[in-house]
Amino acid sequence: MEPVNAAQFLCPHCSAEVAAAAEVCPHCGARLTSPAPPPEKRDLLDNRWVVLGLLFLATGALGLPFLWRSKGFTPVGKVVVGVIVTIYTAALIALAAWAVWWAWRSMQEAFA
pLDDT digits (tens, 9 = 90+) for 56-100: 888 888 888 889 888 889 999 999 999 999 999 999 999 999 999
- Contact (CB, 8 A) for 37 and 45: no
Per-residue pLDDT, 101: 96
Compute φ and ψ for 21, nearest 5 degrees. Answer: -85, -5
- Dihedrals phi, psi of 17, to nearest 5 degrees: -75, 130
Q: How confident is the model at residue 40 (pLDDT cuts 50, 70, 90)?
A: low
Report which secondary-structure segment, H or E, holds 2. strand 2-5
Pairwise pLDDT comparison (16 vs 104), residue with the higher score? 104
**How many CA atoms lie less than 13 Å away from 98 in the CB half-sphere?**
6
- The answer, as to whether pTM is greater than 0.75, is no
Q: Using an 8 Å Cβ cutoff, are 46 and 70 in contact?
A: yes
Q: Sketch the domain layout of the chain as residue ranges.
A: 1-37, 44-111
